[in-house]
Structure 1
Amino acid sequence: MRTTILLTGALFAAATGRTLAQAPATDPTYNEDAPFVRNIRPDRPGQTVTTSMLRPGQFQVELGTQRQLPASGQARTLSAGLLRVGFFNHMELRLTQGYQHAGPRLLGADVAPTAAGLAPLTVGAKWLASTNQDARSQVVFLTELTLPKTGDQALHLAKPLASARALVSQQIGQRFGLETNLGFSQSGFRAADTKQGQFLYTLALNGPLAGKFGFFTEAYGFGRQGFTHGGTVGLNWRPLPGLRLDVGAGQTFTGQRGAVVSGGLSVRLPH
């Protein structure tokens, strides 16, 4: 029943966004100069992936580090780099790889040290489903595949991890944006693997503060039989149109309880 509700919601959100994107009364064709479109929008600091897509020939590098503080167990630090490249036919290519930092060694403890090193490599693409890349309402699909036997051996995956998301956004005024993600991921490609897959939903609001500062806030959940629900808040500073620095903090309230603090840098060229 939960699966049916989530899949129905994903289809409804995608259809609604596409309808809005085609409505000429509320969605002018020319919206390129709106700060929400023009300003750099990285795919972090939270769980929400933006509908922002690069133009052909543009590329964007996003570097970030997050510190995971679970309610029980050892804290972990994960850094990640994301390369985004604008491609033709309203497509964006993506390459992601993380690095799991080694945790502190506790003298006299029987706990095995956490595996450290390069995480598995993830390749992906964004696909524009709307009719106009600068529309006030957008629908974009994201597909990603995390590859086994990549990264350091201690972190190898036994099976490829595939995921897909429907990304929907609605511009509010010239600078605010409301964005939602509905997604599904599974390890392996067999029919039986689908029954072990995980669902994801997010709802985020972002916008400006004083000067070149902005904010980000979101609610999210992921899981299958039981969901982990949480929230993230963040601040960003954009000294240049193609440069952004951000900090964020998050907390999960159910399921896998814990806190996360993060920071990152994003650069887009040409801006």
Structure 2
Amino acid sequence: MTVTTGSRPVWQANSEASACEKCRRQFTLVFRRHHCRGCGKVVCDKCSEHRVILPESYNYGPSKQRVCDSCYVTLVAIEYQLGLDQGKVVPPDYPAIREELLRRVKSYLALSESGWGSAGDLGGVKVCLRNIENSAVSCIRSKLLIKAPINKVMEVYSDMDVWKNWNPYVSSRTIEQLDSNSKVMNAVYEFPVIDKRDSCFYTSVMDSSTFETLENQKGLTVAAISVDHPLCPVEKGMVRSNMLISLSVLEPVDDGIHTHFTSIVHSDPKGLLPPFVINAFLSRGTDHLRGMAKFIEAKLQS
């Protein structure tokens, strides 16, 4: 990637940075300092994994240079806008994407109850699995009752930055905000042992009764499917998963202090993991939902 704006920054002195300027982790003999060639800040290796070709004004030549996550997002966005202005980049077909999202939402919600096989009650989360035609990966449905009103649940659930409080292996960023209820996001999953994975997906919040724009909060449906986006290319060393559907239905209980939360996820993580291994670990995802529920309930009590 190459862009046409910017100038070479003055590097921050190593003596001025005892910790990474991005994640704030303290540097040690083994956790080393690096400089972002885009802004000159001292950062760690994890926060500067991207390599890009910087403008000629930076005087780095044609080779790719290390940049921090923030500079990478800015540079990619600049190139994307230039491509749009010059007619060299075709933006995603969002009407078609939304139509496909709605088709899948209705299809998965219409699955017969008899096809779901119970996997038990795991710490308050009722889990069911089912096979999907033409897919080697099973679909998982999880249900739980959260002691919080629907607006409080949605407030936490819709903010993926907050997820780090109970799920430290997931980080995310917004690729393109389309309107107040729809956007394209990129999520990175750094689970122990297995390869580093990410997903690029279109997500939308809808009224559960109409699947259109929000009219009330009597029922909310949050749905997402994988998409391709020029601002979210697959990085070297990353496995891009395929999110066939991620569907969450929030329903308020009449008492006003509880919310029924139903999650349906059908996703192929890709990579070298065989389907039988993926299916065997699907129920582990309930840890995420339990963690979310505990975080929300504790937040209300504090």
Q: TM-score, normalised by structure 2?
A: 0.34
Larger Rg: 2
Q: Greater helix percent: which structure?
A: 2
Q: Greater strand percent: which structure?
A: 1
